[in-house]
Amino acid sequence: MNKDKRLKKRHAREKRLKFYGVASICIAIMMLITLLSSITFNGYTAMQQAYIPLKIQVSGEKLLNSSGAVDAQKALLFNWDSKVKKAFRENFPEVSSRSDKKELNRLISSNSGYDVKQFFIKNVEAFNSETLIFITASDDVDQYLKGRFNTDIPEEDRRLTDKQLKWIDGMHSEGLVKLKFNKNFFTSADSREPESSGILGAVVGSALTMFVTVLLSLPLAVMASIYLEYFAKPGKLTDFIEVNINNLAAVPSIVFGLLGLSLFLSFFGLPRSIPLVGGMVLALMTIPTVIIATRASIRAVPPSIKDAALGLGASKMQAALHHVVPLAMPGILTGTIIGTAQALGETAPLLMIGMVAFIIDVPTSFTSPSTVLPVQIFMWADSAERAFYERSSLAIMFLVAFLILINLTAIILRRKFEKKW
């Protein structure tokens, strides 16, 4: 009888444990779905941008040189903003007062003149003829058309007046303002104006930084792992190194930022806010993680592989590099990719070395001023502009998708090259 009771209790405990496990997984999935849904709901509208079609004509005699190209000095001095505002006001012949004209001009982006300038520089054949150009509307117009502008608050507390809202409604009904695919988000760098901002500069900066991180962390981590596994003599020094490697893997990332600030910037005098320094700082943070993964992969290789190589006359280095490391490479690559993915999402260490700077150009080298995608998201989310919050959510979606792709690549590589012993 006692035996049956104990058996029932054991089965009950097993059922409870199974229930707790299933419940934990369900809660985790619900939290993930909630997070992704919230980000998607806030960011999907940034895929579209409000554009205003305008017919603009520019005389080539004022801007073209003798060879038929745009003269850079003349283009710099030309009043492009005035040209855009004049073409825009032609849609509102009833607007005559100076104050109304100022209110009307606020409906178009302050960067529209620069955009028109770039259009004519790239399309010289468009000079001397009336050309239809889609200029960017202001972020307030964009948010209003997307239903993200609160019109219930008093007029004096709104960024758009009732008169401006009336103009926007009229433009929308007549097809003078349209929501189109926001290509600027993927082809431009950062901007003070949310309607002109993009992630290309941050993406390129992240790619350059991650290249430096992998280039430094992978060889150093593999060599350190080989030394600790095959050449380091057991003793207090080796134990001290192993303990500190494990401790460094758990050190807060901002500590590595402080180390990079004092070592690379203050001591060596390297420039701030460049991918080279960012990659070196993230490499310091990634190396302990990759060492731990590499040592685990090396230990997973059967000792008979190394013993057979040594028995045939190979040296310890040859046995390690020619036989053990190639077999451990799937685990090494997996650890490296996961460590790189973790570094890609880091913000704190890069803030300490100045990669929070406002950069309007796409970096072209490892020493060009740049920022990275997580820092770009941090700066946008900290802005008071609603349109920046929308774009930060879309950038998060892009970053999450990229991280999922990286981790999926790690799983595929492991399954493809992993050997069963």
230 and 93 fall within a common domain: no
151 and 204 fall within a common domain: no
- 116 lies in some domain: yes
- 284 lies in some domain: yes
- CATH number of the domain that residue 245 is part of: 1.10.3720.10
Distance, in Å, from the CA atom of 58 to the CA atom of 37, rounded to the nearest integer, reads 46
Distance, in Å, from the CA atom of 46 to the CA atom of 194, rounded to the nearest integer, reads 10
- 75 lies in some domain: yes
What are the pLDDT digits (tens) for 303-329? 888 889 888 888 888 888 888 888 888
Percent of the chain with pLDDT over 90: 40
143 and 208 fall within a common domain: no
Average pLDDT of the residues in 36-48: 90
- 33 lies in some domain: no
310 and 389 fall within a common domain: yes
- 18 lies in some domain: no
* HEC sequence for 379-399: HHHCCCCHHHHHHHHHHHHHH
What are the pLDDT digits (tens) for 46-80? 999 999 999 999 888 878 887 888 888 888 889 99
- 131 lies in some domain: yes
Residue keyed to tokens 């050190």: 251
142 and 250 fall within a common domain: no
Give the residue, 330 or 135, on which the prediction is more confident.
135
Does an H or E element contain 16, and which? helix 2-43
Confidence of residue 16 (pLDDT cuts 50, 70, 90): very high
217 and 146 fall within a common domain: no
Number of domains, the chain: 2
162 and 258 fall within a common domain: no
Does an H or E element contain 102, and which? helix 98-105
128 and 249 fall within a common domain: no
- 89 lies in some domain: yes
240 and 320 fall within a common domain: yes
The parent domain of residue 251 ranges over 200-417
Does an H or E element contain 412, and which? helix 386-417
Residue keyed to tokens 């060889």: 219
166 and 227 fall within a common domain: no
Q: At what angle do helices 275-300 and 325-344 cross, to 10 degrees?
A: 140
271 and 362 fall within a common domain: yes
208 and 319 fall within a common domain: yes
Confidence of residue 419 (pLDDT cuts 50, 70, 90): low
- 100 lies in some domain: yes
Counting Cα atoms < 13 Å in the Cβ hemisphere of 164 gives 25
Total-model pTM: 0.86
Mean pLDDT score across all residues of the chain? 89
- The C-alpha torsion from 5 through 6 and 10 to 11, rounded to 10°, is -30
Of the residues 146, 180, 214, which one is the last residue of a structural domain?
180
Q: What own/partner pairs with CB < 8 Å and gap ≥ 24 does 80-83 have?
A: 80/113, 80/114, 80/116, 80/117, 81/112, 81/113, 82/113, 83/56, 83/58, 83/113, 83/116
Confidence of residue 420 (pLDDT cuts 50, 70, 90): low
